[in-house]
Every structure is written in C-alpha cells, then in structure tokens.
C-alpha cells in the first residue's frame, strides 16, 4: 500500500480509452463498477467535445460479483453494435474487473459471432501499466489487429506511395496541445514536400490502418504514445521510425535532418538545409529571441523542469541550450522510461529527478527556489504557494490547458509559443531591476514560505523590520539563507546584525 | 397527451442501470471539509485516486485531509499483510496530521478481495488510539451521494449514548448550542431556554454547510423547537448524544441507511417528512416536525408566501417550461417537486435508487403538487439507461435537461439546454433562505440563452453527426 494524494499518470484504462475514442467510430465498453466512467466527464469538459464520448460501461455490481457477468458483457457489446454500428468495439478492463478474473476473451469471442463490427479486448495489466504505457500498448494492438486482418484478406498494399510520405503516430484525445501540434506537423510536412499518409489515432478510421505500410517513414513526436506501434511497423515492413520530437529550434532541425536522411536513403533527393536555415533565422522568432536583450536578462536565472518525458526533456534542452538559463534540476514522472530521460537531459541540468511523488517535487522546488518552474498543474500550485511563476508544459492539465487559440508546442510555430511561455513566466527583466533599485513595491508582512521547511528560529523585532525592507520577490530567499546561516552558527535569535552578517557571509 | 391518458398515480420504472454518476467515494470531498478534525483514507486503486483528483478540481491542491491508500499488486494477491500495511499508513497519518478520527472508505477492490476492514479497524484503533470508522462507499453498491449515507450510518454508531451528567459540560459539547448563545449572559441563556417548547430531544442528520445548519436551526427555533445536535457535527468529538427514544429527522433524500441505522440500532424515532428543499419543502418539513411534537406552527404560511414573492422574477422564466432529470444524485424527487410548484412540467425523474419508504412523504408531496398545479405526473425511472434517456430527450425536446457533465456539452451542442446536476449537491439549497440559489442554478442556462437567442447558434453539430 502506498499513501498517495496525487498522481501524475492515470490508471491504465484511461490510456486505452484515450486511444480508442481518438479513432473515428470506435466504441469502448468498460467492464467496471458504477462511477468509473469518469473519462466521459473529462473528455466532455476538458476538450469540450461536442459529441457524446463513445464509452459505455458494462456495470459490475453485486450480481456480477456473485454470479459473474454471464450474458451481460456480451449483451452490452451486441447492443452497442446494433445501436451505433461502430467499426470496432474495444472491451476495456479496469482495475476492478482485472481482479475478478472473468474470461473476458471468451466474451469477446462470443460477442464477435453476433456483432457486425470488430470486437477486441484491450490487453493491459492494470497493476503493471499506467495510462501512458496502456495507451501505447492499445494503439499497437489496434494497429496490429487491422494489419493482420488485411493480410489475411490479402488487402495489404505492397508498394510505397509515389512521393515521400509519412504516418504521424501518437496524436490523441486529452493529449497536451495535441490537436495544435498535429496541425503544425502537417504544415511542416507540407513545407518539406512530404505527403501525410495517415494520422493515428486522432480522427482516423480503423479502415485506414491497412494503408500504414504505404508510408516511407513513421514520425512519432511523443515518446509516450506511438512508439510500440511504430516499432511494430518497422519490424513488419521495415518502415523507419523517427522518434525525435521537433520541439525547440535545435530539435526541430535535428528531426528534419533525420527525415532528410531517411527519405534520401529510399531514393528521394532532398536537401532541407536551406529550409532549416530560413526558418531558424527569419521565420521562427526563437533564435532571434535568444540573441535579443530580453533573453540576455534571463542568463543564468535558475529554473526547474518537471513533466512527462517528451516535454520535460525538450524544455530542459531549450532552456539550457537555446536560452542560457540555468536548469538546476529536470525531472520526469515516467519512471518506467527513466533511462531515456536521463540520457537526454544529463548534459543540460545539474541534477536529474525521477519520481512520481509530488511531495518530493514540492520539496525540491522549495529547496532550490528557482526564478521559474516549468511543470504540470501540480507544480503550478506549488509555485503559487511559494510565489514562484510557473509555465505549464505537460499533463496532468486542466481545462485552461486546452486553449481554443492556436498554440502548438511542436515545429517552428511551436518554438514561438514556447518562447512566449518561457519569457512570460520569468519576472520581466526590467521590472525586476527596478524593483530591486527602488526597494520593491509590496508591503506584505513576512510569511514563512516553503512546504516542508519549518523554522525553529526567532526573529527579533529589528531583524524582522530589516527583513521587511527587502523586496518581496527575494525576501523568501534572504530569509531562508539567513536562517541557514544562523542555524549553522548556533544563533537562536536573528537580529538585524545577524541578517547582515549572513548577507556578507553568503551574499544573501 | 390527453387528459384521459394521464396517470393518476406516480409511475415507477426501472431500467438497465447503465447511467453516468459520480463514484460514492466523492463524499470525502465535502465530508472532510465538514468534519474538521477527520481524516479520510480511501483504500482503493489508482482508478479511485484518479477520479478523486479530477472530480475535486482545485480542492486537491489545498492539502486536503484525505488520501488514497493505493493498493498494489502485492496487496491484491495477499503477499502483503493488510493489517501491517494499514497500520503503517495510519501511523503516518497520525504523526503528520493527528486527526480525531480516521474514516476508512472501502472501495470496489476491497470488496472483491474481501478485505475485512470492519474486523481490522477495532484492532488497529486500540493500537494507535484514534477512532477508526469504516464506510463501504463503493461503486458496486452505491451511487454518488449515497457515499455520505454510508459514512453517516457508520458514524451513527459512534454517537455517545448517554448525555453527560454535568450540565456545564453538555453546553461545552454542543456546538450549535454554544453558537446560538454566543456572547450572551447566563441569565439570558436561561431565559432563552424557556423560549423552547418542552419536547423530546431532536437530532437532525445530513451534512450541510455550517451557514445552512444555522439557518435551519434558527428556523426551528422560531417554532420553539430545540435542535439537540446534528449528525455530523463540525468535529468528530462533538457528535450528538443519541439516547433511545430521541427523535431524528433527515435533511437530505439520500440518507436512507442512516435513517435505518438510527431507528434500528439507536432506537430513535424517525420523523418522515419531505425535505427542506424549496420554500414548499421547507415549510412541509417544519410543519411535520411541529406536528410530531404537538406544536401549532407560527407564521409559516406567511413566510412561504413571502419567499415565493421574492422568487417571482426567476419563476416567471421557467413557468410553463419542461424539465427532464437524467438522474445521478438522489435529490431529483425533491427538486422535481419544487420545480412543479414553480410551474414547470417534469417529463421524467431519473434517479439512481428510490427508497419509497424513506422518501414517502416527499413522493406524496410531488403527487399533490402535480395535481394542484394541473400538470401530468412524471415518470420515475430508477437505475436509468442514459442511452435510452437521450433518445427520449430527442423525442420530448424538453426546455431543460438536468444531467451530469458527461452529457451536458454534447446535449448543448444539439441545441438542448442543460444544467449540470452536481452543482445541486455542492450549492446551498436547503431552507427558505436558499430557495433562490436553486432557481439561480435552474434558470442560468435559460438566462444565458435569452442573451444569445438572436445569434442563431443553436445547433452546433453537423446534421450527419451521429449521437
């Protein structure tokens, strides 16, 4: 048992449902107790879906517990098949149903006899996989199912498309800025003269899946979703997989160069160097921003980064490599894929943090006192409490992270969006200086900041008065450093003298 | 529908139970706030945790006094010892938070693996010295607000059964009593005691926000009725005394288990009344309590009329309109009754579970309201089927659908007005004072649409789009 208040990645069935409902005309039936269909609320609320979420529950109640589901699951599948004629029904086990150990395979086979559409059972272990792993697995499973089905029928295309083409794999519902990223990737491909053969799973029909082998290569922009399917296609058809997220100026160029290499190897004759140069220097504003005076003011400022693998790794590299910001630590909650993360970021930050314990993250932020945080909604709230600005870069996210306006993170427009996000998160440079020169404009009482750090020290009246004169945005740091100084030297009371002694000693 | 076809009695149906509702563990969201010295430990899986995290929105960031005991594979396969594991976590909770009670919420998983929470709790309680209350609020058996019912039923067994001997101490213990006497001199208190009619002790049950507790308590005081205590109180250590023969009355329609426990285990007498939701319900609730104590209610009729007069600007927006309850929180019958009184026609009252005995007075009042307002009786659909309901909604084209968040946006996109049902659970809706808040919620989509009505943006899905 584990005491937990907050989790970064959801349970496995959420991943399966995200993939299933991203496809067009695919219905998921959860084998779950009443109330587990919370996914429908999230999809309807967060991404403001206009259509009913194609997920229903075959309810597990007391009767099911005592007698087994019997006909119930089969009936629910065939009923849904008749009502909505989906192409595919995905029977989705949940944590509850997986301990009931009912033979869901058998239900699927029986239902398949009657159902006009296809029926499969999501092959996911609830106690071993989380949302991200399960989503990856389900996408793989559906792709494999339709490739094999087409192969049996002899419908598999044998040749590649005439012009270079790509499958974009991993765009899904409830994914962080996924729909904007998808638009941006399609634009980028159009610029490069590459046809988009398919985008999966978002908006795709399962009937298109048999055409996946026609693409020259697969692009997997997110580390978390699509890699299994792409590896499968690579093994089956030799389709090369490019898994470099084009996020940030340098990585986008790297991704495009890799595309060039891959399609030239298949007989295309392209050179994207000029395009990269043009975009980098004049179209995207990010490279110019790095040179501008604004960005100079950010030099050496401290930041911390936390999120999923894709976004945390990309942001760490952007901050450090493209803006000269000091990333004190970078972390991920994708513990199952920690080695990849470590390898990606170790040159760009002082420390790597692999954890899914939000308390440890909060403490690590309080300890470092960065000028800005880049993290999930949880880190945003830690930032609020510590009075540190935060830019949200990864799920878990809330409704405000599903903007209506065009805000990709990928591609060249993505570099512009990320630049704005980063710059706006730091206290504006000039404002910062002015506050320091004129002693700040807030007259708030000193409050103890920090989540775990408690103070056993006593501030005398004059000490407190001096502390109050220090501008608000550095006051916490001065207070902490002074207390550390006092503790190290065994002072019980902190007077103005101690405060200044500490300042001299540590430059607080 | 012609007059001849109109049903003369309420028509009850039961569907497949395939509907959307919140999991009953959501009750921790409002109960941990209500019972200030409690800590709620939900013993379940990631699925439970994910639901709570998402359902509670920003509350999650406020260091709530609840946590998940997240079961791992070793717990499911009994490789780990339940008792040792729970002891470790409860020790940690005691160390970090030092609560006066730890409430264990049993979930679907603890049911299926048959974890004996009721058996483990007394043993562990003895060892760590903090009361442990066990409530099985799981999705196998219950829906949404019924979670509170299971917690309060378990709490009912913890209420002291003897009033403390010393009168002074009793005053100390009774929070409401203290609240009402706040800042008054002793003589005034004695004087006030005489303002109450001599009646057997009355304890109310149901968790309500403190302002509403005060409002309802004062409402009864006007009739000379003294509320001896509330289940739950602000603190676990202030649970009311329940002696055999005390009277109890419910304030919410989903508290049938608590009512049963109070009657059977604590030998209390239940006052079966409509619930104090809407001015009509509040008046009927007070009148019923008065009648049990042989008191003639004073000034209630005027009070109700005055409240109705104050509501007119809202009522005129919904008079003659129709409403469809998809059903998810068990407040449906009371709300339907109030809306009928406002002049609405109710097509259907979907409800997760219908306790006809506990809700008897409320059902009778709904029937009477329909008769007096001259509108057809609604169909009451227990364990509804959301898919079928949506088809019926397409046919009936109601002016308003009260539904969960899963259906609200898709229905709105199809030009059907919706109100999110969960808001009724969290808003203050009880008593005379809050009647306006109910209508504020009910009329909001209609007011919004009045503002947008000339834009022609009603249906925002393409024709060929399937449901």
Q: What are phi and psi of B148, to 5 degrees?
A: -60, -40
Chain B residues whose beta carbon lies within 8 Å of the beta carbon of residue A12: 46
Minimal Cβ distance to B67: which of A4, A41, A50: A4
pLDDT at A96: 87
pLDDT at B177: 54
Tokens of A477: 């740091």
Question: Chain A 243-272, CB below 8 Å of chain B: which residues?
Answer: none
Chain A residues whose beta carbon lies within 8 Å of the beta carbon of residue B104: none
pLDDT at B9: 81
Tokens of B367: 């029937």
Beta-carbon separation of A37 and B20 below 8 A: yes
Beta-carbon separation of A65 and B71 below 8 A: no
Chain A residues whose beta carbon lies within 8 Å of the beta carbon of residue B29: none
A120 pairs with which residues across the strands? A90
> Using omega within 30 degrees of 0 as the cis cutoff, is the peptide bond preceding A396 cis?
yes
Q: Is A294 a catalytic residue?
A: yes
- Alpha helices in B1-81, H assignment, sequence order: 27-34, 46-55, 73-76
pLDDT at A438: 62
- Count Cβ atoms below 10 Å from residue B9 Cβ, excluding itself: 8
Residue A501 CA to residue A147 CA, distance in Å, equals 72
- Kindly state whether A123 is in contact with chain B, defined as any CB-CB distance less than 8 angstroms: no
Using alpha carbons, select from A143, A130, A198, A201 the residue that is nearest to residue A172: A201
Q: Look up residue B188 and give its DSSP letter.
A: H
**Token pair 């059903």 is at which residue?**
B327
Instruction: Report whether pLDDT(B184) > 60.
Output: no
Residue A20 CA to residue A9 CA, distance in Å, equals 18
pLDDT at A447: 46
Mutation to test the A interface, candidates B19, B84, B94, B112, most A Cβ within 10 Å: B112
pLDDT at A298: 85
pLDDT at B193: 64
- Alpha helices in B265-331, H assignment, sequence order: 278-292, 300-318
Beta-carbon separation of A96 and B47 below 8 A: yes
CA distance A15 to chain B (A): 12
H or E element at residue B369 = helix B360-373
CA distance B185 to chain A (A): 38
A191: three-class secondary structure by DSSP: helix
Minimal Cβ distance to A127: which of B61, B73, B80: B73
Q: Look up residue B60 and give its DSSP letter.
A: G
Using alpha carbons, select from B119, B153, B152 the residue that is nearest to residue B264: B153
pLDDT at A468: 80
pLDDT bucket at B31, cuts 50 / 70 / 90? very high
Beta-carbon separation of A11 and B45 below 8 A: yes
**Token pair 């960005």 is at which residue?**
A295
Contact B150, B257 (CB under 8 A): yes
CA distance B122 to chain A (A): 20
Contact B362, B335 (CB under 8 A): no
Chain A residues whose beta carbon lies within 8 Å of the beta carbon of residue B390: 52
Chain A residues whose beta carbon lies within 8 Å of the beta carbon of residue B50: 7, 10-11, 14, 38
Tokens of A90: 């995905």
Question: Chain A 61-90, CB below 8 Å of chain B: which residues?
Answer: 61-62, 65, 76, 83-84
Proportion of chain B in helix, strand, coil states, percent, rounded to 5: 50, 15, 35
CA distance A417 to chain B (A): 26
A29 pairs with which residues across the strands? A56, A91
**Token pair 């591609």 is at which residue?**
A411
Beta-carbon separation of B72 and A34 below 8 A: no
Contact B80, B128 (CB under 8 A): no
Q: Among the options A87, A294, A363, A420, which is catalytic? A: A294
Quick: pLDDT tens for B56-65. Answer: 765 666 678 8
Q: What are phi and psi of A424, to 5 degrees?
A: -70, -20
Instruction: List the single residue in A with minimal CA-CA distance to B63.
Output: A5
**Token pair 């930041």 is at which residue?**
A303
Beta-carbon separation of A10 and B45 below 8 A: no
Show Cβ contacts of residue B275 under 8 Å, excluding neighbours closer than 6 positions. B250, B251, B252, B253, B281, B285, B334, B362, B430
CA distance A3 to chain B (A): 5
Chain A residues whose beta carbon lies within 8 Å of the beta carbon of residue B49: 4, 7
Minimal Cβ distance to A3: which of B69, B390, B406: B69
B220: three-class secondary structure by DSSP: helix
Contact B232, B156 (CB under 8 A): no
Beta-carbon separation of A44 and B467 below 8 A: no
Instruction: Report whether pLDDT(B37) > 70.
Output: yes
As a whole-number percent, the residues of chain B with pLDDT over 90 amount to 76
Minimal Cβ distance to B109: which of A99, A381, A396: A99
Beta-carbon separation of B108 and A10 below 8 A: no
Mutation to test the B interface, candidates A96, A130, A134, A454, most B Cβ within 10 Å: A96
Instruction: List the single residue in B with minimal CA-CA distance to A451.
Output: B63
Contact A303, A328 (CB under 8 A): yes
Beta-carbon separation of A38 and B73 below 8 A: no
pLDDT at A432: 61
- Burial degree of A69 (CB within 10 A; 0-12, 13-18, 19+): buried
Q: What are phi and psi of B455, to 5 degrees?
A: -85, -15
- Kindly state whether A381 is in contact with chain B, defined as any CB-CB distance less than 8 angstroms: yes
pLDDT at A450: 45
From residue B114, alpha-carbon distances to A65, A80, B77, B148 in Å are 11, 33, 12, 22
Residue B222 CA to residue B233 CA, distance in Å, equals 22
pLDDT at A177: 96
- Alpha helices in A208-357, H assignment, sequence order: 227-237, 249-265, 273-278, 286-291, 293-296, 309-317, 323, 338-345
Higher pLDDT, B194 or A369: A369
B250 pairs with which residues across the strands? B205
Extract the residue ranges of chain A whose pLDDT is less than 70.
427-455, 472-473, 506-508
Show Cβ contacts of residue B365 under 8 Å, excluding neighbours closer than 6 positions. B274, B280, B281, B284, B337
Residue B467 CA to residue B392 CA, distance in Å, equals 13
H or E element at residue A18 = helix A12-22
Proportion of chain A in helix, strand, coil states, percent, rounded to 5: 50, 15, 35
CA distance A343 to chain B (A): 29
> Using omega within 30 degrees of 0 as the cis cutoff, is the peptide bond preceding A201 cis?
yes
Q: Which of A10-19, B166-175, B222-231 has the lowest mean pLDDT?
A: B166-175
Instruction: List the single residue in A with minimal CA-CA distance to B460.
Output: A50
Tokens of B192: 């006030």
CA distance B461 to chain A (A): 7
Tokens of A185: 């990737």
Beta-carbon separation of A4 and B18 below 8 A: no
Beta-carbon separation of A36 and B141 below 8 A: no
Beta-carbon separation of B465 and A61 below 8 A: no
From residue B364, alpha-carbon distances to A186, B22, B273, B352 in Å are 62, 28, 10, 19
Cα B95 to chain center, whole Å? 32
Instruction: Report whether pLDDT(B198) > 80.
Output: yes
pLDDT at B324: 97
- Burial degree of A137 (CB within 10 A; 0-12, 13-18, 19+): buried
Residue B273 CA to residue B280 CA, distance in Å, equals 12
Counting Cα atoms < 13 Å in the Cβ hemisphere of B316 gives 4
pLDDT at B188: 57
Residue A122 CA to residue B202 CA, distance in Å, equals 55
User: Roughly how many angstroms between the first and final C-alpha of chain B, as a whole number?
Assistant: 27
Contact B334, B277 (CB under 8 A): yes
pLDDT at A446: 47
Contact A232, A140 (CB under 8 A): yes
Instruction: Report whether pLDDT(B8) > 80.
Output: no
Instruction: Report whether pLDDT(B178) > 70.
Output: no
Quick: pLDDT tens for B419-455. Answer: 999 999 989 999 998 999 999 999 999 888 887 877 8
Quick: pLDDT tens for B320-378. Answer: 999 999 999 999 999 999 999 999 999 999 999 999 999 999 999 999 999 999 999 99
Beta-carbon separation of B68 and A100 below 8 A: no
Angle between helices A131-153 and A227-237 (to 10 degrees): 30
Sign of CA dihedral B421, B425, B430, B433: negative
Mutation to test the A interface, candidates B108, B394, B403, B422, most A Cβ within 10 Å: B108
Average pLDDT of the residues in B187-209: 82
Q: Count CB pairs under 8 A between chains A and B.
A: 164
**Token pair 């004996």 is at which residue?**
B116
Beta-carbon separation of A2 and B467 below 8 A: no
Quick: pLDDT tens for A97-147. Answer: 888 888 999 999 999 999 999 999 999 988 889 999 999 999 999 999 999
- Burial degree of A416 (CB within 10 A; 0-12, 13-18, 19+): middle
pLDDT at B2: 44
Compute and round to an integer the Cα radius of gyration of chain A: 26
Tokens of A386: 């510590």
Show Cβ contacts of residue B236 under 8 Å, excluding neighbours closer than 6 positions. B35, B37, B38, B100, B101, B131, B155, B158
Chain B residues whose beta carbon lies within 8 Å of the beta carbon of residue A36: 23, 47, 51, 139
Rama region for A355: left / alpha / beta (φ>0; ψ in -120 to 50; rest): beta
Compute and round to an integer the Cα radius of gyration of chain B: 23
- Report the mean per-residue pLDDT for chain B: 89
Beta-carbon separation of A53 and B76 below 8 A: no
Counting Cα atoms < 13 Å in the Cβ hemisphere of B149 gives 25
Q: Which of A449-453, B284-288, B327-331, B402-406 has the lowest mean pLDDT?
A: A449-453
């Amino acid at each position: 048992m584990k005491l937990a208040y907050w989790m970064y990645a959801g349970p496995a069935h959420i991943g399966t449902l995200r993939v299933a409902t991203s496809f067009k005309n695919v219905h998921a039936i959860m084998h779950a107790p009443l109330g587990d269909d919370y996914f429908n609320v999230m999809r309807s609320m967060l991404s403001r879906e206009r259509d009913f979420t194609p997920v229903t529950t075959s309810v597990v109640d007391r009767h099911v517990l005592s007698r087994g589901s019997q006909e119930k699951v089969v009936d629910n599948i065939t009923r849904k098949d008749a009502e909505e004629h989906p192409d595919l029904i995905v029977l989705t086990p949940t944590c509850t149903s997986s301990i009931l150990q009912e033979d869901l395979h058998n239900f699927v086979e029986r239902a398949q006899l009657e159902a006009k559409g296809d029926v499969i059972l999501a092959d996911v272990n609830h106690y071993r996989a989380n949302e991200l792993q399960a989503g990856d697995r389900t996408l793989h499973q559906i792709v494999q199912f339709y490739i094999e089905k087409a192969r049996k029928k002899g419908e598999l295309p044998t040749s590649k498309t005439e012009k270079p083409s790509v499958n974009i794999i991993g765009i899904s519902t409830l994914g962080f800025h996924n729909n904007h990223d998808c638009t941006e990737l399609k634009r980028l491909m159009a610029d490069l003269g590459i046809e988009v053969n398919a985008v999966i799973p978002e908006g795709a029909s399962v009937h298109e899946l048999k055409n996946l082998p026609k693409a020259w290569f697969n692009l997997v922009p997110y580390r978390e979703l699509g890699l299994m399917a792409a590896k499968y296609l690579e093994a089956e058809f030799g389709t090369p997989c490019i898994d470099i997220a084009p996020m940030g100026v340098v990585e986008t160029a790297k991704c495009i160069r890799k595309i060039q290499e891959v399609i030239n190897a298949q007989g295309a004759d392209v050179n994207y160097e000029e395009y990269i140069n043009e975009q980098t220097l004049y179209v995207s504003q990010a490279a110019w921003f790095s040179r501008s005076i604004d960005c100079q003011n950010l030099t050496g400022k401290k930041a911390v980064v936390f999120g999923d693998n894709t976004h945390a790794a990309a942001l760490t590299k952007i901050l450090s490599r493209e803006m000269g910001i000091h990333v004190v630590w970078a972390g991920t909650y994708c513990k199952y894929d920690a080695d990849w993360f470590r390898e990606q970021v170790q040159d760009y930050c002082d420390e790597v943090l692999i954890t899914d314990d939000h308390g440890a993250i909060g403490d690590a932020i309080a300890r470092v006192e960065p000028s800005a945080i880049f993290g999930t909604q949880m880190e945003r709230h830690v930032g609020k409490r510590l009075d540190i600005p935060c830019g949200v870069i990864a799920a878990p996210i809330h409704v405000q992270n599903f903007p209506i306006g065009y805000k990709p993170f990928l591609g060249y427009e993505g570099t512009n969006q990320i630049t704005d996000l980063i710059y706006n998160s730091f206290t504006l440079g000039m404002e910062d200086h002015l506050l320091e020169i004129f002693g700040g404009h807030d007259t708030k009482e000193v409050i103890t900041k920090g989540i775990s750090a408690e103070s056993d020290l006593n501030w005398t009246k004059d000490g407190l008065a001096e502390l109050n004169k220090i501008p608000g945005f550095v006051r916490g740091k001065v207070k902490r450093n002074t207390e550390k100084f006092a503790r190290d030297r065994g002072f019980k009371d902190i007077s103005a003298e101690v405060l200044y002694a500490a300042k001299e000693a540590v430059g607080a | 529908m012609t007059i001849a076809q109109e049903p003369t009695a309420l028509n009850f149906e039961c569907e497949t139970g395939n509907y959307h509702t919140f999991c009953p563990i959501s009750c921790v969201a409002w109960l941990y706030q209500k019972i200030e010295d409690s800590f709620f430990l939900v013993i379940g899986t990631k699925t439970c945790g994910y639901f709570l995290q998402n359902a509670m929105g920003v509350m999650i960031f406020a260091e709530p006094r609840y946590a998940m005991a997240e079961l791992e594979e070793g717990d499911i396969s009994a490789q780990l010892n339940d008792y040792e594991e729970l002891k470790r976590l409860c020790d940690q909770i005691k160390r970090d938070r030092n609560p006066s009670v730890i409430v264990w919420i049993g979930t679907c998983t603890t049911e299926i693996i048959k974890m004996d929470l009721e058996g483990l709790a007394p043993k562990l309680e003895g060892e760590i010295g903090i009361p442990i209350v066990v409530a099985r609020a799981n999705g196998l058996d219950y829906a949404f607000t019924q979670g509170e019912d299971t917690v309060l039923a378990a709490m009912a067994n913890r209420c002291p059964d003897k009033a403390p001997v010393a009168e002074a101490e009793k005053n100390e213990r009774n929070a409401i009593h203290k609240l009402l006497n706040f800042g008054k001199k002793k003589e005034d208190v004695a004087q006030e005691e005489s303002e109450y009619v001599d009646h057997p002790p009355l304890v109310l049950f149901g968790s309500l926000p403190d302002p509403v507790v005060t409002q309802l308590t004062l409402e009864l005081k006007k009739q000379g009725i003294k509320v001896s205590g509330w289940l739950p109180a602000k603190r676990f250590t202030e649970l009311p005394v329940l002696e055999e023969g005390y009277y109890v009355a419910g304030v919410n329609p989903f508290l049938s288990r608590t009512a049963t426990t109070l009657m059977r285990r604590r030998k209390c007498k239940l006052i079966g009344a409509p619930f104090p939701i809407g001015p009509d319900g509040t008046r009927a609730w007070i009148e019923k309590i008065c009648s049990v104590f042989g008191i003639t209610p004073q000034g209630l009729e005027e009070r109700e009329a005055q409240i109705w007069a104050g509501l007119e600007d809202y009522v005129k927006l919904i008079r003659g309109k129709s409403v469809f309850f998809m059903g998810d929180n068990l407040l449906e019958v009371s709300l339907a009754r109030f809306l009928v009184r406002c002049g609405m026609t109710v097509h259907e009252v979907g409800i997760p579970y219908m306790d006809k005995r506990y809700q008897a007075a409320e059902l009778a009042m709904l029937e009477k309201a329909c008769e007096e307002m001259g509108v057809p009786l609604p169909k009451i659909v227990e364990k509804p089927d959301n898919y079928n309901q949506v088809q019926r909604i397409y046919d009936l084209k109601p002016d308003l659908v009260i539904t969960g968040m899963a259906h609200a946006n898709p229905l709105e996109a199809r030009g059907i007005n919706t109100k999110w049902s969960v808001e009724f659970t969290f808003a203050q809706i009880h008593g005379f004072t809050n009647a306006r808040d109910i209508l504020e919620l009910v009329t909001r989509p209609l007011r919004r649409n009045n503002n947008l009505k000339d834009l022609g943006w009603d249906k925002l899905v393409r024709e060929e789009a399937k449901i």
